């Protein structure tokens, strides 16, 4: 979402509820909390707020996020789907390895394809892991 789109949405809500528009600095502060939201559902969110709220929302950003969740549930076909590609070293960006010295198993992010961005797992290559771990074959 862009700042001008959010500003227009807030302006439409202010007009609908006959409320004075907030200062631009306030809108910019609110925007920092909702800027990761895509532009597609803005009109749907404004309409949903107008249909369900008797007054201007007390917490506009929380209302936007709650309405966005409802929009996602109502439009599952518009959600982004991850597409994995075949990497010979991993399975969907992850390498499963078992320690040769203990019975512990570990998960690593593939450093070659970088398809998984879970920060909790360290990065490694399959070749580096073969020295200390039994690495499972990829599916």
**pLDDT tens digit string along 79-91?**
665 666 788 888 8
**pLDDT tens digit string along 119-138?**
788 999 888 888 888 887 65
pTM above 0.85, yes or no: no
19-51 burial, b at 16+ Cβ within 10 Å, e below that, comes to eeebeeeebeebbeebeebeeebbeebbebbee
**Residue 88 lies inside a defined structural domain of this protein:** no
DSSP character at residue 130: T
- Look-up of token digits 């570990």: 106
**Residue 85 lies inside a defined structural domain of this protein:** no
Domain containing 36: what range? 3-78
**Residue 109 lies inside a defined structural domain of this protein:** yes
Contact 10, 21 (CB under 8 A): yes
What domain count does the chain have?
2
Average pLDDT taken over every residue of the chain: 87
Same domain, 10 and 74: yes
**Residue 86 lies inside a defined structural domain of this protein:** no
Exposed / middle / buried, residue 103 (Cβ in 10 Å: 0-12, 13-18, 19+): exposed
């Amino acid at each position: 979402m862009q700042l001008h789109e959010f500003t227009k949405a807030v302006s439409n809500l202010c007009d609908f509820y006959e409320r004075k528009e907030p200062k631009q600095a306030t809108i910019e502060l609110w925007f920092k909390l909702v800027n990761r939201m895509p532009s597609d559902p803005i009109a749907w969110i404004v309409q949903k707020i107008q249909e369900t709220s008797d007054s201007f929302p007390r917490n506009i950003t929380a209302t936007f996020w709650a309405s966005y969740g409802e929009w996602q549930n109502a439009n599952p076909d518009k959600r982004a789907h991850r597409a994995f590609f075949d990497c010979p070293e991993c399975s969907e960006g992850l390498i499963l390895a078992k320690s040769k010295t203990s019975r512990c198993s570990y998960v690593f992010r593939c450093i070659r394809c970088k398809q998984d961005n879970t920060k909790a797992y360290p990065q490694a290559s399959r070749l580096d892991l073969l020295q200390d771990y039994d690495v499972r074959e990829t599916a």
